[in-house]
Amino acid sequence: MRRNTLPACADRLGVAALTRMHVAGRDLRPLWLSLIDRLIDGTIEPGEGLDLSLIAQLLGDKQAGLAIQQRILASHQLFRLRNSSAQPSPTHPRLRVLALAAATDIGGNTPIEFLLADSAIELMTLYVTPDAGLPSSLPDHDVAIVIASGSDDGRDALRSIERAAARWPRPLLNPPRRVAHLDRDKLHGVLTGVEGLEIPTTIGVTRAQLLAMSCAARTPAEFAGELAFPMIVRPRGSHAGAGLAKVDDVVALARYLRERQDQEFFVSRFVDYASADGSFRKYRLVLIDGRPYACHLAIADRWDIWYLNAGMSQSASKRLEEENFMSGFDDDFARRHEIALATIAARIGLDYFTVDCAETRSGSLLVFEADNTAVVHDMDPVELYPYKPPPLRKAFDAFAAMLARRAAQRHEHAA
């Protein structure tokens, strides 16, 4: 690969800006209609086309969004945030970061734009597609980071990047071979035997295998020794709890399969992580250069928690507990699980990733998943969550500092 500068990046609004508009209640349909007209008459710019793809997905039409994205990426791979001019000098940014993305849906790449808001860092995103792969020349940059996931949609991109990783002209963060370790059916093998940590074995199964289980022709233990009812089942490739269920017996499993047409699933044993008060608490952490930072705490009376179904905005007591968790994170939660978190960081070996976890009744850290694409953001309304900006800004600053540090190390080695 040569480092010759490619033609100018196509400017776009990007994921963070459009998501902020959507979450704030702005009607994106007028922009959608305007861009659709330009797509139809052939006058749309590549960056506008990619924004149109994102708007379609935000409005709930994933299929249309991906079709538009495919059309745009067939002729253009490189994009830059339109607001990059907010930097001290657009021609001499503080740092030039090249993000390597997969051609997937809105949740399939690290939402890095949220992390770099107001950082005076220029962000370019290069989409590594199955047809085009990596270009023969790269845009000049100071540091690169892989933002594609190890999901089915991201594997082709990871393989292309991995083939070029050894001769990459700049520091390459989140190397693709390590991103692949985050797969649900691989992570438990990476983290097994860690002191103070519990992670259930997760295995991939076919619909036929689950059907055999549902009619008692096969037992869960035949697939994994620790697997038994009740167990957790979810479609392979699903996100944000889609299709996630706890099945208590063969009858519940049969009912679950009747309601879904998916052909591949993940299954794992269910761990009852309810606290003494009967509530469930799920924590999201982000690990940056090996150090953990608090993202949020969701509290609910149901085991299948994610932040949007926990009712945090309706409960002052829940928000107070989250505030205490975030403000006292370094001296409390992080210290309590110091060994487990340090070992997670070392074994996974990524520069940036998130961990969704809980605490068991015995005090162990219960890990649900580790991911390089989970959203870490500051979009929650400040009037309800005044305690969130400082710890999140701490994480964002740490991420920007890590990028600068890695870029500087490259210059030190060259000298």
Q: Cα–Cα distance between 251 and 297 in angstroms, integer?
A: 34
pLDDT of residue 83: 53
Q: Report yes or no on 411 lying in a domain.
A: no
- The 3-state secondary structure of the chain reads CECCCCCCCEEECHHHHHHHHHHCCCCCHHHHHHHHHHHHHCCCCHHHHHHHHHHHHHCCCHHHHHHHHHHHHCCCCEEEEHHHHHCCCCCCCCEEEEEEEECCCCCCECCHHHHCCCCCEEEEEEEEECCCECCCECCCCCEEEECECCCHHHHHHHHHHHHHHCCCCCCEECCHHHHHHHCHHHHHHHHCCCCCEECCCEEEEEHHHHHHHHCCCCCHHHCCCCCCCCEEEEECCCCCCCCCEEECCHHHHHHHHHHCCCCEEEEEECCCCCCCCCCEEEEEEEEECCEEEEEEEEEECCCCCCHHHCCHHHCHHHHHHHHHHHHCCCCCHHHHCHHHHHHHHHHHCCCEEEEEEEECCCCCEEEEEEECCCCCCCCCCCCCCCCCHHHHHHHHHHHHHHHHHHHHHHHHHHC
Among residues 180, 213, 231, which one ends one of the domains? 180
Same domain, 168 and 262: no
Q: Which pLDDT does position 81 carry in this prediction?
A: 86
Together in a domain, 305 and 249: no
CA distance 240 to 374: 9
Note down pLDDT in tens along the chain; length 415 residues: 444 445 568 999 999 999 999 999 999 999 999 999 999 999 999 999 999 999 999 999 999 999 999 999 999 999 998 654 444 444 556 799 999 999 999 999 999 999 998 888 999 999 999 888 888 889 999 999 999 998 888 899 999 999 999 999 999 999 999 998 898 888 999 999 999 999 999 999 999 999 999 988 888 888 888 888 999 999 987 766 778 999 999 999 999 999 998 999 999 999 999 999 999 999 999 999 999 999 999 999 999 998 989 999 999 999 999 999 999 999 999 999 999 999 999 999 999 999 999 999 999 999 999 999 999 999 999 999 999 999 999 999 999 999 999 999 865 444 3
User: Is 188 contained in some domain?
Assistant: no
In a domain, 62, yes or no: yes
Would 225 be classed as within a structural domain? yes
Query: Which pLDDT does position 94 carry in this prediction?
Result: 76
CATH number, domain with residue 344? 3.30.470.20
Peptide bond into 171 cis (omega under 30): no
Domain finish residue from 244, 269, 294: 269
CB 122 within 8 A of CB 84: yes
With respect to residue 70, please indicate whether it lies within any of the assigned structural domains: yes
**130 and 21 housed in the same domain:** yes
> Are 369 and 312 in a shared domain?
yes
Place of tokens 């093998």: 189
Q: Are residues 310 and 259 in the same domain?
A: no
Are 327 and 398 contained in the same domain? yes
328 and 205 housed in the same domain: no
| Phi (first) and psi of residue 266, to 5 degrees | -110, 140
Q: Is 376 found in the same domain as 264? A: no
Is 296 among the domain residues?
Answer: yes
Measuring CA to CA, how many Å separate 371 from each of 78, 154, 181?
A: 24, 13, 10
Whichever domain contains 210, its CATH number is 3.30.1490.20
Domain count, the chain: 3
pTM, to two decimals: 0.91
Same domain as 260, residue 288:
no
Q: Is there a single domain that holds both residue 93 and residue 210?
A: no
Same domain flag for 264 and 290: no
Q: Which domain holds residue 57?
A: 10-180
| pLDDT for res 223 | 86
Where does a domain end: 222, 239, 269? Answer: 269
The per-residue pLDDT for 8 is: 61
The bridge status of strand 78-81 relative to strand 121-128 is: antiparallel
Same domain, 29 and 159: yes
